[in-house]
Amino acid sequence: MPRLPATAVIFCGGRSTRMGEDKALFRWRGRPLALHVVSRVRPLFAEILVSGDPGRYRCLGMPCVPDPVSGIGPLAGLYAGLLAARTHAVFAVACDMPFLSPGAILTLWTRFRSRDAAVPVSPGGPEPLHAFYSRRLLPSIGRALGGKPRMTSFWGEADVARVPIAELPGGEGSMRDCDTPADLR
């Protein structure tokens, strides 16, 4: 299968308070949780980057992109990932989603192609860290970083495909995140 002309950006570096230790580096089934995500996206993408502190995440073996402004959250990581990517688009994914469905990712890609973003929407709301984003969003995201830096704060300026989770192969299972050791069991 040919790889998508997009970059997967794996978001590491959150506070991981419920996990009790860094989720990206939490060992599950013999390796760090983030590497389970890498193994799911590697066959699909031309490039893989890690969003997070290079000093901390270099051990994952992927190029690391630090946030331009620390403490702001994932929006800063998205901005940095879009700047660093060698492709016109990124697939932003949390490091704690080891059950990603390739079918869900490919379906999102088909909805994304001519849009600024394609984001799954569950009954609980949007899933912005399992979504595609275009480089065209850099100015809008840059402005959002100066205000309320939420992952949805730039959507008013963007053409966002909101994809119902029920339309994605694997549905909610693809977006299941692991916030605690019990979630992994």
Question: Under a CB-based contact definition with an 8 Å cutoff, are residues 63 and 24 in contact?
Answer: no
**pLDDT, tens digit (0-9, with 9 covering 90-100), for 75-84:** 999 999 999 9
**pLDDT, tens digit (0-9, with 9 covering 90-100), for 11-61:** 987 654 454 567 888 887 889 989 999 999 999 998 999 999 898 899 999
Burial of 99 (0-12, 13-18, 19+ CB in 10 A): middle
pTM: 0.91
Question: Under a CB-based contact definition with an 8 Å cutoff, are residues 57 and 13 in contact?
Answer: yes
CATH fold group of domain 4-184: Spore Coat Polysaccharide Biosynthesis Protein SpsA; Chain A (3.90.550)
The whole-angstrom separation of Cα 88 and Cα 6 is 7
Q: Report pLDDT for 101.
A: 93
Backbone phi, psi, residue 51, to 5°: -90, 110
How confident is residue 63, by pLDDT bands cut at 50, 70 and 90?
very high
Q: What 3-state DSSP class applies to 33?
A: helix
- What are the domain boundaries of the chain? 4-184
